[in-house]
Amino acid sequence: MSAYAPMFLLFAVGLLLVLAFFVGTSLLGPKNKGAEHQLPFECGSESTGGRHIRLSVKFYLTAILFVVFDIEAVFLYPWGVKFRSLGWSGLVSMLGFLSVLVVGLVYCWKKGALEWEK
Amino acid sequence: MSLWFALSPLIVLTFGGLGLMMADAFSKTRSDLALGSFLTFTSAGLFALALWIMGGVPAAVMLKVAPYIVLDKFTLFFTATICLGGAISSLLAGGYLPEHDIDRGEFYALMILAAIGAVLLAAAGDFLSLFIGLETMSLGVYCMTGFRRTNPRSAEGALKYFLLGSFAAALMLYGGALIYGATGSTSIEGIRTALTSGEFGTLRDPSRLATVVIAMVLVLVGLAFKISAVPFHMWTPDAYQGAPTPATAFMSVVVKAAAVATMMRVLLVAFGDKASSSWSSGWPPVIAGMAVLTMLVANFIALRQENVKRMLAYSSIAHAGYLLVGMVAAWGQGNEIVAGEGRAALLFYMLQYTVTQAGAFGALILCGSKGKEAVTYEDLAGLGRRHPGAALPFALFIISLAGVPPTAGFFGKLYLFRAAVDGGFTWLAIIGLLNSALGAYYYLRVLVFLYMKEPAPGAAQATPMKSGYIYGALAIAAALVLYFGILPGKALEMAASAGKSLGAKIEVREVPTKMPDTATAALP
């Protein structure tokens, strides 16, 4: 248990520090109550528009496709480095993995997920 | 037997799912996708049956993929059950989706890919493959729940299911990590060995044991969430009601079957040692308590429902309670004979529940029509006279859910409660019986509205839809409900044999190789 003592000490100091800041600001800080004060802070300028902004679904599609093929690259890299020692079984497993992804890519292509402008 | 044949159900499902995705992308008409999905599930199920008939997968082949995938008869039984549920659900989707203007091919691909996860989950012999199976299954099902994109209820159900489901999966993963920390193994068999021998079996170091108990609780919570046992059922009514009805059917049978399989494997094998599975210090009282709570809460809330789909959702929760009674019976206080009977009863219950519940949701689909999916009891009034062809299958599945002979539900409940009594849990069986009586009230209410009430003048009336796919699904389900209800012997025998194979050691019997002595002697 004593081995963890410095960790707990650090934890306690951190907690105390945060509490001290909160108590300090509420005691010492200036207090302005008003309608202006309740507005959300937007770099000092007047805030405009509603909270709900609808984004086109194509942003999400592009993002998720990017992640999928990024991960594919992550898997391909170590396989490429170890290509010779993994041999045929490595090649076959990798082709299996890639063919599943290719099916997905063809599917996205046909469905028009890769086109930005319809 | 080659490994390819042994893994054929999974391979067929994979190719079927990817093939349907391609078919959806390239074909102009979608009407045949349901048939393709049905054929994929049927052939995967038939491959599982073929493996069963050939005496199961030989140990030498099993060892090639052990411990990650266990290809015992238990897995084959659940594979067949899952494929049966999937096949019925795909036919239902073939009728439902065009009628409700959401005829998109992704549904079938998602369903098959989710079923792959379910099969993997049922076959998982290691916490790693278990988690992969769980996530593969869950992600597909979340999407299917939110498939009616323009319907707020569907979105609500999907979001609730997704958030709570991810949380439950995280808890389960945490449990797996803790058990790995305590025992040094992630495989079900390895955990069992670690818990029965060495420092856990003999030394019983309390601090390490505490880790095991916490891990057990976390894993249990994750699994209880998936089979929607009280108090982890909150998502169920909303998700089941919001989802398109074929997805509801799929969730309530396939997801539940996979979760029950995992629960059996984890609790009976991994945590099947004396300390973890004793009434005083282990999981059985927790499961028994959860069973009582699940049955009572679900049945009482189901009484008050006006919407038939929501009533069936609560009925599905109630059946999770009966399955948990079977889980206690399958433990059987460590007595081999009683436990064998309990396992058989639980597996048979799961099988008959699959056809009955999928059929009930199918009958519900048949009674709804375009723009009127939600059916209340009032809508059903007089349906028995106006459309006897639609009312009859509905009545059959409802009496099977209530457990009235000569249907499958009766034998399911009979075997289950008998196993509980034989295991020394008479009180649990009595609570289960009382709950069945409670359930009969709201099930029979459907029959009363179907056959004994006339619709109020000017009230909305359900107009059954017409679809060959739905008729086909109902015919299959009804035939099986009657088959299991009149001749349950064969299925029960299979369930017993599947239950026996659970947790059995995989050993290759030494085959004496004929090698001349001179040849070996000549070697240095």
Q: How far apart, in Å, are the Cα atoms of B344 and each of A105, B162, B323, B330, B495?
A: 45, 33, 12, 8, 5
Q: Residue B18 and residue A106: Cβ atoms within 8 Å?
A: no
Burial per residue of B329-364, b for 16 or more beta-carbon CB atoms within 10 angstroms, e otherwise:
bbbbbeeeebbbbbbbbbbbbbbbbbbbbbbbbbbb
Q: Residue B26 and residue A100: Cβ atoms within 8 Å?
A: no
A107 touching B (Cβ < 8 Å):
yes
Domains contained in chain B, number: 1
| For the ranges A30-34, B192-196, B405-409, B429-433, the one whose mean pLDDT is highest | B429-433
Nearest to B357 by CA among B387, B397, B302: B397
Please report the pLDDT score of residue B374 as a whole number: 60
Whole domain around residue B403: which residue ranges?
A: 283-502
**CA separation for the pair B7, B44 (Å, rounded):** 10
To probe the interface with A, which of B11, B22, B110, B207 has the most A CB atoms within 10 Å? B22
**Inter-residue contact B119 to B13 (CB < 8 Å):** yes
B233, part of any domain: no
Give tens-digit pLDDT for B89-117. 999 999 999 888 888 889 999 999 999 99
Three-state secondary structure string covering chain A: CHHHHHHHHHHHHHHHHHHHHHHHHHHHCCCCCCHHHHCCCCCCCCCCCCCCCCCCHHHHHHHHHHHHHHHHHHHHHHHHHCHHHHHHHHHHHHHHHHHHHHHHHHHHHHHCCCCCCC
Higher pLDDT, A39 or B400: B400
Q: Give the number of residues written for chain A.
A: 118
Percent of chain B at pLDDT > 90 equals 68
A92 touching B (Cβ < 8 Å):
no
Give tens-digit pLDDT for B416-472. 999 999 999 999 999 999 999 999 999 999 999 989 888 877 777 777 888 889 999
Q: How far apart, in Å, are the Cα atoms of A73 and each of A23, A70, A76, B85?
A: 50, 5, 5, 37
Q: What are phi and psi of B454, to 5 degrees?
A: -110, 145
DSSP secondary structure letter of residue B403:
T
C-alpha B400: how far from chain center: 17
B106 touching A (Cβ < 8 Å):
no
**CA separation for the pair B312, B440 (Å, rounded):** 13
A110 touching B (Cβ < 8 Å):
yes
**CA separation for the pair B106, B274 (Å, rounded):** 47
Q: Residue A103 and residue B26: Cβ atoms within 8 Å?
A: no
Min Cα separation A110/chain B (Å): 6
To probe the interface with A, which of B13, B18, B132 has the most A CB atoms within 10 Å? B18
A103 touching B (Cβ < 8 Å):
yes
**CA separation for the pair B226, B133 (Å, rounded):** 13
In this predicted structure, the answer to whether residue B277 has a pLDDT above a threshold of 60 is yes
Residues 25 through 54 of chain B touching chain A, CB cutoff 8 Å:
25-26
**CA separation for the pair B205, B61 (Å, rounded):** 38
**Chain A hits for B26, Cβ within 8 Å:** 110
Please report the pLDDT score of residue B143 as a whole number: 94
**CA separation for the pair B396, B406 (Å, rounded):** 10
Q: Residue A106 and residue B25: Cβ atoms within 8 Å?
A: yes
Please report the pLDDT score of residue B513 as a whole number: 56
A60 touching B (Cβ < 8 Å):
no
Nearest to B78 by CA among B38, B51, B40: B51
Q: Where in chain A are the domains?
A: 57-111
Question: By mean pLDDT, which of B140-144, B201-205, B253-257 is the weakest?
Answer: B201-205
- Token readout for A117 is 């402008």
B338, part of any domain: yes
Reduced to 3 states (helix: H, G, I; strand: E, B; else coil), residue B466 is: coil
**CA separation for the pair B155, B158 (Å, rounded):** 5
**CA separation for the pair A80, A92 (Å, rounded):** 13
Burial per residue of A18-56, b for 16 or more beta-carbon CB atoms within 10 angstroms, e otherwise:
eeeeeeeeeeeeeeeeeeeeeeeeeeeeeeeeeeeeeee
B256, part of any domain: no
- Token readout for B223 is 């699994």
To the nearest 10°, report the CA torsion of B429, B433, B439, B441: -170
**Inter-residue contact B366 to B393 (CB < 8 Å):** yes
B149 touching A (Cβ < 8 Å):
no
Q: What is the mean pLDDT of residues B404-427?
A: 93
Q: What is the mean pLDDT of residues B145-171?
A: 93
Give tens-digit pLDDT for B476-513. 999 999 999 999 999 999 999 999 999 887 777 665 55
- For residue B390, count CB atoms less than 10 angstroms from its CB and return exposed for 0-12, middle for 13-18, buried for 19 or more: buried
Please report the pLDDT score of residue B161 as a whole number: 95
Please report the pLDDT score of residue B251 as a whole number: 94
B396, part of any domain: yes
pLDDT band at B30 (very low <50, low <70, confident <90, very high): low
Q: What are phi and psi of B326, to 5 degrees?
A: -65, -35
Q: Residue A104 and residue B24: Cβ atoms within 8 Å?
A: no
Reduced to 3 states (helix: H, G, I; strand: E, B; else coil), residue B372 is: strand
Please report the pLDDT score of residue B523 as a whole number: 47
Residue with tokens 């994929």: B40
**Chain B hits for A104, Cβ within 8 Å:** 21
- Token readout for B470 is 């739905």
Please report the pLDDT score of residue B219 as a whole number: 94
CA-nearest residue of chain B to A110? Answer: B25
- Which H or E run includes B100? none
- Which H or E run includes B278? none
Arithmetic mean of pLDDT over chain B? 89
B81, part of any domain: no
Nearest to B84 by CA among B213, B227, B240, B250: B250
**Whole-prediction pTM:** 0.89
> What DSSP string describes B240-268?
HHHS-HHHHHHIIIIIHHHHHHHHHIIII
**CA separation for the pair B46, B41 (Å, rounded):** 9
Q: Residue A110 and residue B25: Cβ atoms within 8 Å?
A: yes
Please report the pLDDT score of residue B524 as a whole number: 45
- Token readout for B321 is 């309670």
Which sign does the torsion angle of CA B164, B170, B176, B179 carry?
negative
Higher pLDDT, B76 or B518: B76
In this predicted structure, the answer to whether residue B521 has a pLDDT above a threshold of 60 is no
